[in-house]
Structure 1
Amino acid sequence: MSSEKSSNQKKSNAFTIMKDDSTDGHGGYGVGSVSLENISPVIIDPNENRAFVDMGAMHARSEIERRVKFIPNKEEVPNGKLYWIVWVTVERGENGPFFSGVAGSEVRVDRSIKRAYKSMPEHVNHMDKSMKGKIIVEHMDEPSKKLLADFLRNFDDNMWTNSTDELKQALPEK
C-alpha cells in the first residue's frame, strides 16, 4: 500500500466524538435520549488483515453487510468469512479524548450464496455496553484483537494512552 493511499485512508477513518449533550438543560426535543454521536463501528477483517471505520454499520449498511441476506442461524452460513463489527465509544476526559467502550460483534459472510450471519440482539447489546464504557473483546480471536489494538493505537496514540488499563490489558501488545 503506498504511503499516499495510506494517508488518504487514515483521513477517511474518523471516529465520531460527542458534539452535543442531550441533557444540557435546554429542555427541548430529545432530552434524556441516547446520543449515538460518540460511537463508531470499526470493521475488523482478519481475512484481508485490515481494520477500518465504516459508519454504514450504524444502519447495517457497511461494506461487509451489503448485498447479502442476513439469517439468524450461524449453521446456515458454514463457509462464511469471519468479520467483526467493533463498537468503539469515544469520551472526553481530563487529559483529552479516549476510547471508553469497546465491544466486538461477530459477522459471518458467504458471498457465494449471498448469505450472512449476525446476531442482531448481540450487536444491539454490544453497542449499548460500549456506550456504557464496557470492554467486551474476550470472545474475539487473537489475530482480530491484534488488528483492533493496532488500529486504535495507530489512529491516535494520545487517545490510546488516555484509555483505561482494562482496554490495554484486553488487547495484545504490538
Structure 2
Amino acid sequence: MELNLTGRPGGHGTPDDFANLSAVLIDGDDIFLDNGAIHGKSVIERGIDFRTARSAEEVPEGRTVHVVWVTLKRYEGGSGYNGIAAAQLIIDAAKGVGYKAMGPLVNQMDRAVKGTVELSSLPDADKQRLAAFLAQFRTDLWENTPDEVKAKLA
C-alpha cells in the first residue's frame, strides 16, 4: 500500500481520505478527522507557535490534544483499520503557544503506517471514544477490522 502524503486536489474531508494515512484529533469533548495534521497544519495547530517551548512544562496552561494516526489495510473481506497510534500536542491557544515532541509524533506515525496499534498515551475513555468514532465514521471499515485491532481500543 502506497503512502500518499500530498493528498488530492481540493483538499481533505471525505471518507475516502482514509486511503492510506489519516489523523484523528481528540481535543477535550471534540473528536474529528483533520488530515492537515499530517503536515503539521491541523486546524488546532494553525496560529500556534511551537518553536519557543522546549518541553510540555513550558506550556503550563496548555491543554492536551491527542493526534491519532490511522492507516488502512486490505483484508479478505475488504479494507479495514490497521495501524492506529497516538501522540500528544500541548496547546495554549490563549497565548498562541504550544509544544509538540516531533520524535514521538513521527515515530507514532511510522508505527501506524507499519500496522502497529500503540495507544499507551491515550486515556481509556478516549480509546473508547476513538473506537466509537471510527465505527461510526465508516461502518464498512470497522466491520472489516480484525478483532485484535478492535480489542486494543477497548
Q: TM-score range by the shorter chain?
A: 0.7 to 0.9
Distance in 1 (alpha carbons) for counterparts of 2:83 and 2:39 = 19
Q: Does 1:151 align with 2:133?
A: yes
Distance in 2 (alpha carbons) for counterparts of 1:80 and 1:17 = 29
Q: Does 1:127 align with 2:109?
A: yes
2:152 aligned partner: 170
Q: TM-score, normalised by structure 1?
A: 0.75
> Aligned-pair distance for 1:111?
1.1
Distance in 2 (alpha carbons) for counterparts of 1:82 and 1:167 = 25
SS class of match (2:148): helix
SS class of match (1:16): helix
Percent sequence identity over aligned pairs: 36
Whether the aligned pair in 2 keeps the contact of 1:15 and 1:39 (CA below 8 Å) is no
Q: Does 1:42 align with 2:43?
A: no
Deviations 1:37-67 (A, max 9, x none): x00011112x2x1211111111111011111
Distance in 1 (alpha carbons) for counterparts of 2:79 and 2:148 = 16
Deviations 1:63-106 (A, max 9, x none): 11111111330100111111111100012122111001000011
Whether the aligned pair in 2 keeps the contact of 1:13 and 1:52 (CA below 8 Å) is no
Q: Which has the larger radius of gyration?
A: 1
Q: Does 1:61 align with 2:62?
A: no
Letter in 2 for 1:81: R
1:32 aligned partner: none
Whether the aligned pair in 1 keeps the contact of 2:87 and 2:121 (CA below 8 Å) is no
The number of equivalent residue pairs is 141
> Aligned-pair distance for 1:139?
2.1
Quick one: which of 68, 91, 105 aligns to 1:86?
A: 68
Letter in 2 for 1:14: P
> Aligned-pair distance for 1:143?
2.6
Q: TM-score, normalised by structure 2?
A: 0.84
SS class of match (1:78): coil
1:51 aligned partner: 31
Distance in 1 (alpha carbons) for counterparts of 2:70 and 2:18 = 11
SS class of match (1:61): coil
Gap regions ≥5 residues in structure 1: 1-11, 19-37
Structure 2 CA distance for partners of 1:66 and 1:132, relative to 1, 3 Å: same
Distance in 2 (alpha carbons) for counterparts of 1:103 and 1:121 = 13
Gap regions ≥5 residues in structure 2: 1-12
Structure 2 CA distance for partners of 1:86 and 1:17, relative to 1, 3 Å: closer
Whether the aligned pair in 2 keeps the contact of 1:99 and 1:160 (CA below 8 Å) is yes
Q: Does 1:113 align with 2:103?
A: no
SS class of match (1:122): helix
Letter in 2 for 1:64: I
Distance in 1 (alpha carbons) for counterparts of 2:131 and 2:146 = 13
